[in-house]
Structure 1
């Protein structure tokens, strides 16, 4: 396992198994991984290699069957569900392949609503939402609903929503899969900017080989194991 002096996340001996009609399926088989603070990290691998399962574990959306996850020096695996939810709401941002925007809300309302649900004070929500939308270059389009936005603009709205509460780490599962290659590259360059100017730590999954040129670290997964780290 690579180790770094300032890791935002360290995973040790991580296993995740699921019960199915065919018995137990082991999806992750002893993952050791570290994510340096303030870096852009990619998890690559074929479909079924365990990337999404690993992202869900790092984002405290799921618990490992075995192993330990430390986030910012805190043991996520030892926390109660409520404690993990609190960490995720305040310190982790999540972006999904499907954008997952509320269709009847404007871009601004989508971002502000998540801040409201997370308990952000009313007087701070508008400022935080506008700042996030400005960071992703979407402030001029903030009153448009998702169906009035392009795929790239919808994904930028999703990114604004994920960074509005100023998390320490951003997790993105196939964030460019629904976009054309040019738009996808714009999204990755936006991630690069967030890393360099905001100090965000970003972990993302992708199949896109063009993206590999502009990231800091790459972990390749195969059959639930890390087979290469660059």
Structure 2
């Protein structure tokens, strides 16, 4: 590894400083985050744990440029993203961040391939690359042989893997996933986590997920505990 390559890996991919988020105004306002700070290194698998209502989803949305903090800053690859225009934030999500939702959010009447290819169209990837990128993403999650199947013909774990394939097809640097195994049984959940671990190890991606699952926290590289809107513990 060259000095330049080592420097890129050692430099944080994401750095959040003093993130606060308040919804509403006046007496009816609710403060969800109260100064959360964390650092995400490249090529790592990171879990954010916490009880329901602790602010995990809000923090993920801010890290993924889906929302802006009321206070604090988020740096992604050295750029402070909170001050970017909406156009540049949308472009960042389309090109360098992959989002995975708990509900899978697949189009029911589209095949696995079509769901992934649809994501590539939204990301603005040139049509000439759609088949190559979609097939490669489905292969990485172990579903190349199932790419003609529609969601209702697949198990919950397979549907989640299609959602992962859609999130990685445009080759982002960062994957953000909110409770990716919450709707799965333990066996399927571990299959999904194996996919994440392989993406980090072999593809050099960075994955940040929220979870309640104690088993997941044993296999990730780093855990942040979120309590009452603050990072209370980390390992």
Match in the other structure for 2:189: 184
Deviation beyond 4 Å, 4+ runs, structure 1? none
Cα separation, 2, equivalents of 1:12 and 1:72: 14
Structure 1 stretches lacking a partner, 5+ long: none
Helix, strand or coil for the counterpart of 1:38?
Answer: coil
Match in the other structure for 2:118: 113
Q: Does 1:167 align with 2:172?
A: yes
Match in the other structure for 1:213: 218
Q: Does 1:75 align with 2:80?
A: yes
Helix, strand or coil for the counterpart of 1:54?
Answer: helix
Question: Normalising by structure 2, what TM-score?
Answer: 0.95
Helix, strand or coil for the counterpart of 2:31?
Answer: strand
Q: Does 1:91 align with 2:119?
A: no
Question: Normalising by structure 1, what TM-score?
Answer: 0.97
Match in the other structure for 1:19: 24
Deviation at 1:119, TM superposition (A): 1.2
Q: Does 1:61 align with 2:87?
A: no
Structure 2 stretches lacking a partner, 5+ long: 1-8
Helix, strand or coil for the counterpart of 1:186?
Answer: helix
Cα separation, 1, equivalents of 2:226 and 2:177: 16
Deviation at 1:5, TM superposition (A): 3.5
Cα separation, 1, equivalents of 2:223 and 2:42: 15
Deviation at 1:22, TM superposition (A): 5.3
Cα separation, 2, equivalents of 1:85 and 1:131: 24
Deviation at 1:20, TM superposition (A): 6.5
